[in-house]
Chains A and B, each alone.
Chain A
Amino acid sequence: MDQDIEPIVIAVTGLNAIDSPGPGVAVIRALRDGLPKNIRIIGLAYETLEPGIYLHDVVDKTYQIPYPSAGSDALLARLKYIHQQEKINVIIPNFDAELHNFIKVSPALKALGIQTFLPTQQQLDARDKINLFQFTAMHGLMAPMDKIIYSADELYGCAEIMGYPLVVKGKFYDAIIANTFEQAQKAFFKLTAKWGFPIIVQQFIAGTEINIAVLGDGKGNATSIIPMRKLYITDKGKAWAGITLEDESLINIATTFVKATKWKGGCELEIMRTADGRAFFMEINPRFPAWIYLTAGAGQNQPAALVKMAMGEAIQPYTDYAVGKMFIRYAWDHITDVTEFQQISGLGEL
C-alpha cells in the first residue's frame, strides 16, 4: 500500500552518532518506526566522518551543508540546491548552534514547500542560559539563582545571597564548584583568563538529574512528555543508559513550561530534583535529545509526531507511555571503503 503514495522526504541533521552523539540517527530510527515504510531520509552533514552518512539503511542520501558560521544566506542557497534534487517535505534540525539560521530561513523554506516545526527566535532567546532564571521565575518555575559579574569583588555579594558552594561558570564553557571565597576567586581568575568576561555565578543545587523530552504544538499544548533518568553517564557526562519514569510532578512542570512558552517543536528539559522534591531547571535544550529513540520505545514517538504536525496533521496529545523502558547506548564499527569518504569529502554528496 505504502508504495502507491509519494514518499515523504525528510531531511535530518546531527548524524554524528559518536561518543558524544548528535540526535540525528536516533531521530531517523524513530521516523522509520513511526512513519510509512517508503519515507526517504536525506542526511544533512557538516563533517565528512559523521557516521550517519555511511549508514545507508538509515540515511538514503547525504549532502554536506555550510557550517552555521557561514550564515543563513549560504544555508538557504545550499538547501535550495538539495531541494531541487530531492523535493524535501520536512527538515528537522538537531543542533543548538544551527537553529538560529534554520529559524531565520524557515519562511523562505515554507515558500519552497519545505515544512519545519521550530520554536521562534524569541522562544530560543528566552531559554538561553543567560536569561534562564528570569524566564523561569516569570512562569512560576525554578532555576538556580545566578548573577553575571565582571569583578572578583562581586563574589562576596553572590555568596551572601546564594551561599556556598557556588558554581563559577565561564562565558562559553567550563564550570567550577567553589566551597570558599578563595576557591571562587581562583575559579574567577582561571575562567576569565580562559574565556574572558563576564563570569556567571550560579547557586549550587544538589540532587538527582532528570531529563524530559518534550514536544510542543506551538499553541501551548504538550503533545508528548517523556521523563527519563540517566542510570549511568560517560566521563563526558553523556547518558550511557536511562529509564523512563512515572512522576506526575515532572509531567506538570513540563506542561507548565509548554503552556507558558507556547513552545513549538522538540526540546529537552534538564531538571535537578532536590531531596525535598523541588525541581530546578538547569538548562533547556531547544531540540530533541540524543536519547529521543526512547520516546518511540515508550510509546510516544515524538519525531514521527513532529513530522505529522509539520505536515499539517492534528495530533491528539499522548497520555500513556511505558514506564521502566530503558535504553542502553552501544557503539559498533561500521565498515566502508575510502571511495565513499572521498566522495562525500570531494563532492559533498553521498
Chain B
Amino acid sequence: MTKLPYERPQILKMNAGLMNKYGTRTEYEPVKHIDGIPVKTLIAKYGSPVFVISERTMRSTYRSIQRSFATRYPKVQMAWSYKTNYINAVCNVYHQEGSWGEVVSGFEYRKALGNGVPGNKIIFNGPEKTTAELELAINNDSLIHIDHFDEMYQLIDISDRMNKKPRVAIRVNMDTGIYPIWDRFGFNYENGTAWSALTKIVESGKLNLVGLHCHIGTYMMVTTAYSIAASKLCDLAWNCKTQLNTTIQYLDMGGGLPTANDLRGAYLPAKDTIPSVDEFAEAIASTILNYGFKTEDLPLLILETGRAMIDDAGFLLGSVLANKRLSDGRRATIMDFGVNILFTSFWYEHKISPAQDFTQHTEECVLYGPLCMNIDVVRSAITLPLLNRGDQVVVHRVGAYNMTQWMQFIQMRPNVVMIDESGESHLIRATETMEYIEIPERMPEHLKTVKL
C-alpha cells in the first residue's frame, strides 16, 4: 500500500482579517521545472543552492526590448551593463545578440575586452578610471563617459601627452520629477554645470565630443521621467550643434527600467503597476523624434538596460534546512540560501514557489538564510504551504545584481548553471573552493604553527 503524502499538523486561529487565504500573496502553483529540466534533477546534479539562468528567456527578453525601441526609432544600440551580471557566459549571450559592452571599472573593462568586445564598442562609465585604464581605453578608441571635472582635466592631460583625441561623452544628471535626483554622478543640467563641461571639452581641442549620457535612477515607475530626460539631452545636443558647432552622434539614455519584482513595502504587486517596456520606449523615442532634428542628424539611441534584460531569466533553487517556532509563536523556516547570495532580498520581496505539490493549507512565516548572522532574513513575512525539511523552492527574478553583488561571507558562493535553448544545462561558474578563497592569503612565518 502506498502511503499518503505527509503534511505537518497545524491549527490556525481565526481572526477577522488575518485568515483570508485568498488574500495573501500565496503562490498558487508549484514550479517543478526550469526550461523543461526538473528542479530535482538540477539540484541533484549541481547541488543546493544553485543559480539557474535561462538562455531562452535572456534571448527572448533581449529581442523583445530591442524590438520595442527599434520599431519606434531608426537607430538603436543596446549596451550590456556589466555590473548587472558579468559572468562571461551571460555577457556573451548579449554580445551574440548584438549588444555592446557598458562597463564602470577597469576590471569590467578588461572583462569586456576578454569577451571579445571590440574596444570601440565599449562604453566606459563610472566615477573611477585610473590613468592606466584611460590610456588603455584611448588606445582602444572606446567611448569614455566623463563623470566630473577632475576626470575631464585628467583626460585632457593624458590626450595631450599621448597626442590622441579620445571619443568622449559626459554624463548629465537632472531633475526629472523623480526623487531622489541622482546628482552624485555626472554634471548637473539645471544649474548649467553640464553646459559648462561641454563648452570646456570642445574648447580644449583635445577631446572629441560625440555623445551625451544620462541615467536618471533605478527601478523607474513613470515613463514621463524618461521623456523629460530625453528632452533635456536633446536641448544640450541642439545647443552643441548650434553654439559649439559639434554634432552629437548619440544619446545614451542609460538604464533603470523596472522588472516585476515587488519592492519591499509596495502595496500593489509590481506586475500590475510597472509600465511596459513599450511605454518607456514610446516616451523616449517620441521625444527625440519630435524634437526637431533633421533626419540625417538624428542621434543614435543607446540603452544600457541591465535589470529588465536579465532579471526574469535568473532563478535561485534552494532547500529547506529546518523549521522552528519563534518565542512569539511565529513560524520560521531556514533555507540554505541567504542574503549572502540573494543580495536583492534587501530591497525586494522575492516571489518564492515551492518545487513540489502542496495542499491549500498555508502558514505565514519568516524566511531565514543559513548564516549565523541576525541580518540574514530573506522574507520577513511570507505565506507558504507547510514545507518540510528537504523540500525545495524556486526564487524568481534573481538574474540582476545577485551574481555580482553576492558576498563570500561564511559560505562559499554556489554553482551557476545556464540552460541553453535546446534544454541542455551548462555549468558557467563553479562553486568556490577552499583553495580558491585562500589563493590571495599570505601567512607570516611566525604564525605558521599553532599548538593548542
Contacts and interface: CB of A to CB of B under 8 A. Distances in A.
Do any CB atoms of chain A lie under 8 A from CB atoms of chain B in the complex? yes
A97 B20 CA distance: 17
B268 A69 contact: yes
B22 A73 contact: no
19 contacts: A46-B23, A48-B14, A48-B15, A48-B16, A64-B20, A64-B21, A65-B23, A66-B20, A69-B23, A69-B268, A70-B22, A70-B269, A71-B25, A73-B271, A100-B273, A342-B14, A345-B14, A345-B19, A346-B19
B23 A64 contact: yes
Interface in B141-181: 179
A46 B20 contact: yes
A240 interface: no
Given A69-B269, A100-B268, A348 B22 contact: yes
A198 interface: yes
Contact of B14 (A72, A74, A150, A341): A341
B17 A101 contact: no
Contact of B272 (A66, A71, A342): A71
A342 B11 CA distance: 13
Given A48-B16, A198-B179, A345-B14, A71 B23 contact: no
A207 interface: no
Majority SS at the chain A contact face? helix
Contacts of A65: 22-23
Give the bracket for the number of chain A residues in contact with chain B. 20 to 34
Interface of B: 14-17, 19-25, 28, 179, 267-269, 271-273
Contacts of A345: 14, 19
Nearest first, the 10 closest Cβ-Cβ pairs linking A and B are: A71-B269, A67-B23, A345-B14, A49-B16, A47-B17, A66-B22, A345-B19, A66-B23, A72-B272, A47-B16
Contact of B25 (A46, A69, A100, A348): A69
B27 to A, nearest CB: 10
B19 A77 contact: no
A77 B272 contact: no
Nearest to B23: A67
Given A342-B14, A346-B14, A64 B22 contact: yes
A179 to B, nearest CB: 28
Interface in A190-235: 197-198
B272 A101 contact: yes
Contacts of A78: 22
Contacts of B179: 150, 197-198
Contacts of A32: none
A104 interface: yes
A68 interface: yes
Contact of B267 (A69, A72, A197, A198): A69
Contacts of B273: 100
A143 B179 CA distance: 25
A42 to B, nearest CB: 15
Contacts of A348: 20-22
B272 A100 contact: yes
Contacts of A346: 14, 19
A341 B179 CA distance: 46
Interface string A84-117: 0000000000000100110010000000000000
Contacts of A150: 179
A198 B179 CA distance: 9
B353 to A, nearest CB: 14
A134 B37 CA distance: 54
A94 B23 CA distance: 17
Contacts of A64: 20-23
A249 to B, nearest CB: 35
Interface string A21-55: 00000000000000000000000001111000000
